[in-house]
């Protein structure tokens, strides 16, 4: 399937986890992909793998919280691909704590990556999409963007903010052939979830197996969601056939929010 041939994509947080799967999937569908994150080794590995498989890819180190770093990412994209049609704002961090033990620093760190980063990258690439009359912005939010829960106030608030931002970008791009959507996964089989399990072990003294069971219990299918499942939905949103899906928050959660 090469329905993205000729499209040029930027994937933030593309060095591992969901972002890596998204970068690989877009490249398989024919898009040229600029893979961005802070860890040079990780983004270079993903870009090299894509190149070895016959795709077009570049790696860029970027801290999405930093305006100057995002400006450099935009310069790199302009130099490599002379325009960006698809932006996947996947870079994100999580933290868990009760409200009373969430520090202002925790709060601002989570918002800096999840919200400010999504805004800065969108501001860098969305105007070019509007000017060219075609574009896709896909923001990786979370089921925590649609509901709150204990110990995730900062993370849930940041992902709710991503949804409000997404809907506004969707409205601004609608007449110009640009869509913006959010994807809201449940617990993924990635490093972030491994860290969540480790935190539960540390804070509650439960075994790793018990902590994992608590995480799995959130999903009615009792399993972690594969990054490739997120990538498949992103790929659909980026395709020509995704043109009428705009301003949505698409859950990929095994039914977590429908119980
Ligand atoms: P990982 O921790 O495995 O990957 C996160 C990616 O984001 C890494 O590539 C990381 O690279 C990058 N990143 C983090 N901070 C920055 C930054 N300041 N600038 C640039 N890149 C950054 O997490 P996942 O793959 O699990 O998460 C991907 C997305 O999916 C996130 O937005 C997350 O909130 C969301 N999500 C995850 C769920 C889960 O269960 N894991 C569930 C629902 C949503 P580096 O550190 O090198 O910069």
Q: Any idea where the domains of the chain sit in the sequence?
A: 8-186+226-247, 187-224
- Given a cut of 60, whether residue 35 has pLDDT beyond it is yes
| Structure-token pair, residue 109 | 């760190």
C-alpha 190 to ligand 1 mean position (Å): 9
Q: Binning pLDDT at 50, 70 and 90, where does residue 147 land?
A: very high
Cα-based distances in Å from 97 to 12, 101, 151, 193: 26, 6, 5, 15
Tell me the per-residue pLDDT of 178-206, one tens digit each, with 9 for 90 and over. 999 999 999 999 999 999 999 999 999 99
Q: Is the CB of 251 under 6 A from ligand 1?
A: no
Query: For residues 255 and 251, what is the distance between their CA atoms, to the nearest angstrom?
Result: 8
Tell me the per-residue pLDDT of 220-231, one tens digit each, with 9 for 90 and over. 999 999 999 999
The mean pLDDT value of the chain amounts to: 97
At 135 the three-state DSSP class reads: strand
What is the number of residues in the chain?
259
What's the topology of domain 8-186+226-247?
Answer: Rossmann fold (3.40.50)
**Residue 54 phi, psi dihedral angles, 5° rounding:** 95, 5
C-alpha 175 to ligand 1 mean position (Å): 31
Q: Is the CB of 145 under 6 A from ligand 1?
A: no
CA angle 13, 45, 31 (to 5 degrees): 65
Tell me the per-residue pLDDT of 74-100, one tens digit each, with 9 for 90 and over. 999 999 999 999 999 999 999 999 999
| Structure-token pair, residue 31 | 């898009």
Output the residue whose Cα is nearest ligand 1's atom 19: 63
| Structure-token pair, residue 153 | 């106030």
Q: Binning pLDDT at 50, 70 and 90, where does residue 161 land?
A: very high
Q: Is the pTM of this model over 0.95?
A: yes
Could you give the percent of the chain with pLDDT greater than 90?
99
C-alpha 128 to ligand 1 mean position (Å): 25
Output the residue whose Cα is nearest ligand 1's atom 48: 38
Average pLDDT (69-74) is 98
C-alpha 127 to ligand 1 mean position (Å): 25
Output the residue whose Cα is nearest ligand 1's atom 44: 142
- 54-64 b/e with 16+ CB inside 10 Å = b? ebbbbbbbbbb
Q: Is the CB of 165 under 6 A from ligand 1?
A: no
* CA-only gyration radius of the chain, Å: 18
Q: Is the CB of 254 under 6 A from ligand 1?
A: no
Query: For residues 105 and 102, what is the distance between their CA atoms, to the nearest angstrom?
Result: 8
Which residue numbers are catalytic?
155
pLDDT for 259: 86
pLDDT for 2: 59
- Given a cut of 70, whether residue 72 has pLDDT beyond it is yes
pLDDT for 5: 97
Output the residue whose Cα is nearest ligand 1's atom 36: 142
At 193 the three-state DSSP class reads: helix
| Structure-token pair, residue 11 | 């994937």
CB 76 within 8 A of CB 60: yes
**Residue 226 phi, psi dihedral angles, 5° rounding:** -75, 140
């Amino acid at each position: 399937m090469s329905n993205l041939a000729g499209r040029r994509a930027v994937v933030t947080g593309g060095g591992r986890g969901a972002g890596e799967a998204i970068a690989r999937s877009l490249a398989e569908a024919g898009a040229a992909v600029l893979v961005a994150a802070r860890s040079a080794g990780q983004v270079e590995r993903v870009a090299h793998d894509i190149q070895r498989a016959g795709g077009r890819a570049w790696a860029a180190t970027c801290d999405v919280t930093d305006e100057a770093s995002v400006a450099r990412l935009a310069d790199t994209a302009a130099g490599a691909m002379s325009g960006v049609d698809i932006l996947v704002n996947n870079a994100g961090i999580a933290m868990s704590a009760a409200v009373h033990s969430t520090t202002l620093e925790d709060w601002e760190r989570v918002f800096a990556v999840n919200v400010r980063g999504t805004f800065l990258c969108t501001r860098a690439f969305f105007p070019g999409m509007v000017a060219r009359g075609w574009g896709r912005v896909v923001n990786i939010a979370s089921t925590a963007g649609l509901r709150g829960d204990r110990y995730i106030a900062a993370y849930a608030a940041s992902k709710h903010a991503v949804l409000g931002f997404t809907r506004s970008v969707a409205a601004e791009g609608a007449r110009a052939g640009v869509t913006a959507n959010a994807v809201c996964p449940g617990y993924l089989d990635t490093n972030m979830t491994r860290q969540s399990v480790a935190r539960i072990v540390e804070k509650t003294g439960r075994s790793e197996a018990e902590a994992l069971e608590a995480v799995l219990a959130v999903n009615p299918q009792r399993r972690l969601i594969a990054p490739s499942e997120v990538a498949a939905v992103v790929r659909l949103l980026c395709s020509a056939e995704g043109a009428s899906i705009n301003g949505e928050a698409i859950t990929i959660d095994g039914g977590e929010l429908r119980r």
